[in-house]
Each structure stands twice: as C-alpha cells, then as structure tokens.
Chain A
Amino acid sequence: MSKTTIRPAVNKPDQQNGATAPAKGRPTLEVIGLKKSFGTVEVLKNVSLSVAKSEMVFVLGRSGSGKSTMLRCCNRLEEPDSGDILLEGEQITGRGVNLDKVRRRIGMVFQSFNLYPHLDARRNVTLALRKVLKQSRDEADTRAAAALARVGLADKAGNYPSQLSGGQQQRVAIARAIALEPAVMLFDEPTSALDPELVGDVLGVMRELKQDGMTMLVVSHEMAFAREAADRVVFMADGHIVEQGPPEDIFTNPQHDSTRAFLSRYSYGQ
C-alpha cells in the first residue's frame, strides 16, 4: 500500500481540534502503510490498522515483532519513516504538526509506569493539567481527584510513587493519562512489570475505561483478558499484521502459522 492510498477527505478543517465529533464511521485512530526501520533492521514493513471509537483493540505478537514500535509511532515517540497516522480524521504525521497538541489527545501507559518519582500521585496527574491545559490549581486538583478516584486511588493522592505498589503506580499512570481526556489510550504491556496478584487491579481499571467508552489500543500478553474484553485482536509478525479479528476467532481458529505457533506457546484456553 503506497502513501497515496485514497482516503476520504483527510483534513476537515472545521473539526481539527477535536471539539466537534468526528464524522460518523471515521475511526478514532487510523494507521496507514506505516514503515519504520532502525538502521538496516526493518521493524515495521507495512502496517495498517484502525481503531474505531470506543473500541478496544489488542495487539499480540512475538517479542521483537514491532508491537511497541507501532504503538510508539502512534504518538510519535518514534518517528515513522513513512505512512500516515490519523487521529479523529486529522493527519498527525509529517511536518508542521504541533506534536505537543496532538500528544495531549493520545494517552500513553508504559510497561515501567514512568511516574515522576519526585512528585506525589496528585501532582503526577496535575502536572500536565497545569502546564499543558493551563488549568488553575483548583481546577487541576479537582480533575486529578476525579481521575484518581476512577482508578480506585482516591486515598493515595498524597503518596509518592515509592510509597505505592506496582499496581497502584500503574493506576496512577493511567489516571495521569485519562485526566487529559484523550481521544485514544495506548497501553504498552501495562501489566508485564507487575506481580501476578497486582495484575487484576490494573486490568479492572482498563475494563471500566472500556465500559465508559474509552478507545484503547493495547499491547499485552494477558490472553484471558483479551478474550474477555477486547473487541478485536490483531496479530503482528515480522513487521506486518498477519491476522486480525474478534478474539474468539483468533484464539480458537487462528489462520496464520505464526499466530498458531504463538498461541500454542502461551498454552491458552482449556
């Protein structure tokens, strides 16, 4: 697929700031013909993917298949070599895009939480509210309290990251992202660094976000959760999306060899 793939009216100027609802049927996030190499290693060969509003899409694939790279291209922490990325119909790749403005509409949750260790939970959440959205202290505190309550940590606002468990830290990180009311949330293995007994809390928060209509693109190996909560599962291998569909189909009847090999190794099911 070339860069010139025809897509209906890419850049409707009247809905650029996301204040108005995107056109009906227009995906919230659209990745078209994405390519990315590191040196001579071609990590993403031609990836196209769209995530509809309020949809939860799971990305699976072997280690090194390019899942994180694809996710990080979506908010341009990684710069794509070519391809287009559209957020609510608006082109966010290429020159002349205000990255900071785009990024505040794309929440990201990292495997290693990346909370600011010198700030307590509340101020981890309010920093961007104050400095990016220019909210007053009161406004930001109110919004942070609501975000922390949403992830079940209303009582931990004054705790520093070092005073929180891994699961709590990751939920604060989620609160930090959702407080900005993003159009889409990206999760890169949000539970991989957690002790097994803490995974459930984080997944519970993600489940609630989905119920509230959040659009989510999730890289994770939590197969049972994917099966239960995902609207669609995407399988990546070797820089391509080789297969995608509803979780039941992918898990019970994988079509592609690499999907089968992957799923059998996760000995999922029974």
Chain B
Amino acid sequence: MSNLDRFIETFLNGAVLAKYTPSILQGVWVTVELSILIVISGTLLGTLLACIRAYRLRLISFLIVIYADIFRALPPLVLILLAYFGLPNIGLSLSSFTVLFVILGLTLGAFAEEIIWAGITSTDKGQWEAARSTGLGFTRTLIHVVLPQAVRMVIPPLTNRAIAITKMTALGTVIGVPDILNQATTAQSFSGNASPLTLAAMAYVLLFLPFVILSRWLESRFSWKKN
C-alpha cells in the first residue's frame, strides 16, 4: 500500500464516511442550535450589563466587573466540568446541553459586556451632551444615541469573540453533548478509523468559515469613525 493510499484509507475512508455521515449531521444540528442560543443570549446579556454599568452605580458596577473578570479568566472547560459534575451534589442536575449553553452563554456575556462597555465609554462625550441638551434623559440618550454607535463600533471584535466562543461547543464532548465532535469521536472509536474526525473538521469549516468571512467583511465595513 502506498503512503497516499494509507492516508486516504485512514482519513477519507469512503465506507466509513458513508456509514457515519448521518450521525455527524445530527451533531451539526446540535452544534448549530447551541451556537445560536449562545450568541443570542450572550450578546443580549453583555449588552444589558454594559448598559446597567453605564449608570455608574458603584456596587452594581463592581459586581458586573467581578463577573466579567472571573468568566474571562477561567477556562470554560473548568466551569463546564464544575457545573456538570458539581451541581448535582447540591441537588441541581442540569442536562449536559443546558450546562454547555449556560456556561458558554455566560462566558460570551462576560466578553460582550467588556467589549460593549468599551464602545460606550469611547463614544464621544459630545454625543451625550448634544442629546441631553435637547431634553433627552439619560436612559433615552443611552438607548437611542450612544448604544447604537457603541455597538456599531465594536461589531468586529464582538463577532470575533462570538466565533471563538461558539467553537468551544466542541468542549461539550467531554460531558456527552451529542455535538459534531462527540458524534465523530464515537464513530471513530466504533470504526477504528479517523475518517469521521475528518468529516467533523469539514463540518466545522463549513459552519464557521462563512462567519469568519463575515467578520472580515464587517471589519472593513464598520471601520468608519464619526465622519
């Protein structure tokens, strides 16, 4: 057997691929579902917290910062294992899907909060003053004037971070979430062949490449600053 044949036999085995493609497609659906949930809830949470922080209430801002810093410092895998294996001991058993969703959602929320907060603070002070001088209150100014500009400014880093964190759904494998990687490793151990992992890799590329390209496009699109 030539090296090339051995390579194809190992990584692109037609029979194995045909057999396990359906289960990996199931995994794709799980990964997609999780990703959507994480991106929506994480971004909303981060935006909400950044807005609350704009009121500069000492205690509340302090708590938000603590949360953001802890979730940005800890490797998500540690939190996933802690939540999945620890919480049942205090009577709270969550499904592996839920644990993965909650931890990654909170992680994205922490990063999103910091990113959007940076956008809010770097919005020109003159924007606040102009809006307030027309009689708009603080909350209305924040919602209608500052936040839209802040979000626009931070869409590229936010997109990058969202991609980085949704990719981490692969961590769900260790607690048994039937995502792409989990389906592939199961197939790999049944078949004794690495081809399902190749398929998983291709699935990830197909899934995430459009978003990576989108973020590149957004980066050039939104590189405008005021004027």
Chain A: residues with CB nearer than 8 A to chain B? Answer: 75, 77, 100-104, 106-108, 110, 112, 114-118, 127-128, 131-132, 161-162, 173, 176-177, 180
Cross-chain pair count, CB within 8 angstroms: 71
Report the separation of the CA atoms of residues A181 and B122 in the bound assembly, to the nearest whole angstrom. Answer: 31
B126–A112 CB distance below 8 A: yes
Report the separation of the CA atoms of residues A102 and B129 in the bound assembly, to the nearest whole angstrom. Answer: 14
Chain B hits for A75, CB < 8 A: 133
Known: A104-B135, A106-B133, A116-B130. 17 other contacts (CB 8 A): A77-B133, A100-B137, A103-B133, A107-B134, A110-B126, A114-B130, A115-B130, A116-B127, A117-B149, A127-B131, A132-B134, A132-B136, A132-B140, A173-B130, A177-B134, A180-B134, A180-B135
A103–B129 CB distance below 8 A: no
How far does the Cβ of A105 sit from chain B's closest Cβ, in whole Å?
8
A114–B134 CB distance below 8 A: no
* 3 closest cross-chain pairs (CB), A and B: A104-B135, A114-B130, A128-B134
Of the candidates A77, A117, A173, A176, the one whose C-beta lies within 8 Å of that of B132 is A77
Counting chain A CB atoms within 10 Å of each CB, which of B127, B133, B144, B152 scores highest? B133
Chain A hits for B132, CB < 8 A: 77, 100, 103
Chain B: residues with CB nearer than 8 A to chain A? Answer: 124, 126-127, 129-137, 140, 144-145, 148-149, 152, 224, 226-227
Of the candidates A77, A107, A162, the one whose C-beta lies within 8 Å of that of B129 is A77
B144–A110 CB distance below 8 A: no
A125's nearest neighbour on chain B, judged by CB, is B134
B135–A100 CB distance below 8 A: yes
A131–B140 CB distance below 8 A: yes
Report the separation of the CA atoms of residues A127 and B134 in the bound assembly, to the nearest whole angstrom. Answer: 9
A127–B144 CB distance below 8 A: yes
A114–B137 CB distance below 8 A: no
Report the separation of the CA atoms of residues A128 and B135 in the bound assembly, to the nearest whole angstrom. Answer: 7
How far does the Cβ of A164 sit from chain B's closest Cβ, in whole Å?
9
How far does the Cβ of B50 sit from chain A's closest Cβ, in whole Å?
17
Chain A hits for B135, CB < 8 A: 100-104, 128, 132, 180
B129–A127 CB distance below 8 A: no
A114–B136 CB distance below 8 A: no
Report the separation of the CA atoms of residues A238 and B75 in the bound assembly, to the nearest whole angstrom. Answer: 58
B148–A118 CB distance below 8 A: yes
Report the separation of the CA atoms of residues A112 and B152 in the bound assembly, to the nearest whole angstrom. Answer: 21
B227's nearest neighbour on chain A, judged by CB, is A162
Residue pairs across A and B with Cβ atoms less than 8 A apart, 30 shown, are A100-B132, A100-B137, A101-B135, A103-B133, A104-B134, A107-B134, A108-B129, A114-B124, A114-B126, A114-B127, A114-B129, A115-B130, A117-B227, A118-B149, A118-B152, A127-B131, A127-B134, A127-B145, A128-B131, A128-B136, A131-B136, A132-B134, A132-B135, A132-B136, A132-B140, A161-B227, A176-B130, A176-B134, A177-B134, A180-B134
Chain B hits for A104, CB < 8 A: 134-135
B127's nearest neighbour on chain A, judged by CB, is A114
Chain B hits for A100, CB < 8 A: 132, 135-137
Chain B hits for A132, CB < 8 A: 134-136, 140
How far does the Cβ of A166 sit from chain B's closest Cβ, in whole Å?
9
Chain A hits for B149, CB < 8 A: 116-118
How far does the Cβ of B149 sit from chain A's closest Cβ, in whole Å?
6
Chain A hits for B148, CB < 8 A: 118
Chain A hits for B130, CB < 8 A: 108, 110, 114-116, 173, 176
B225's nearest neighbour on chain A, judged by CB, is A117
How far does the Cβ of A213 sit from chain B's closest Cβ, in whole Å?
21
